[in-house]
Amino acid sequence: MEENETIDVEALMDELSGRMEDMLEVMLAEQLESAVTGAVQDALPEALRESFSDFEFVLTDGTTVRPRQYMKLLSPDKSKLLLCYGGLRVDGSTLMVQTRISCWESIACYESREEAIEALVKVKNAMEDGLSVFEL
């Protein structure tokens, strides 16, 4: 810098102030977005449960699906503990549990279809009673 050049301190301060305001605005926007996203993600499961509390639908095979139900089922031999998403069905003499929206797993095999249906009714009643775990 040459000797006869003067520094415009006021202009420099204005420029620095503007840059700091821009940086703070970006940082605050990012923090706000992160906080809102986190709050929505935390509240979403409960809000969905409440929204679907009276919702149910029937699949083409006759299975009633109630997404509000989250109950753990323990198999009769205690070898499986499955989280029931809401659906139950009998396939032959096997009681099937919906563990995800598109996934079914066998929880127990019975001597007859009637016994499997009886077990299904017991599980359904336990769900209606609000149990969190049910042993077959």
Residue 55's pLDDT is: 60
Q: pLDDT at residue 31 above 80?
A: yes
pTM for the structure as a whole: 0.50
Residues 62 and 18 in one domain: no
Residues 117 and 61 in one domain: yes
Residue 84 burial (C-beta neighbours within 10 Å; 0-12, 13-18, 19+): buried
Residues 75 and 127 in one domain: yes
Residues 82 and 127 in one domain: yes
Residues 28 and 70 in one domain: no
Residue 26's pLDDT is: 85
E strands present in 32-132 = 57-58, 64-65, 71-74, 81-84, 88-91, 94-100, 103-109
Per the model's pLDDT, the better-predicted residue between 42 and 119 turns out to be 119
DSSP state of 112: S
List the domain range (segments joined by +) for residue 16: 1-51
Residues 26 and 92 in one domain: no
Residue 119's pLDDT is: 93
Residue 85's pLDDT is: 75
Number of domains in the chain: 2
Residues 67 and 30 in one domain: no
| Upper half-sphere CA count for residue 34 (Cβ side, 13 Å) | 6
Residues 77 and 18 in one domain: no
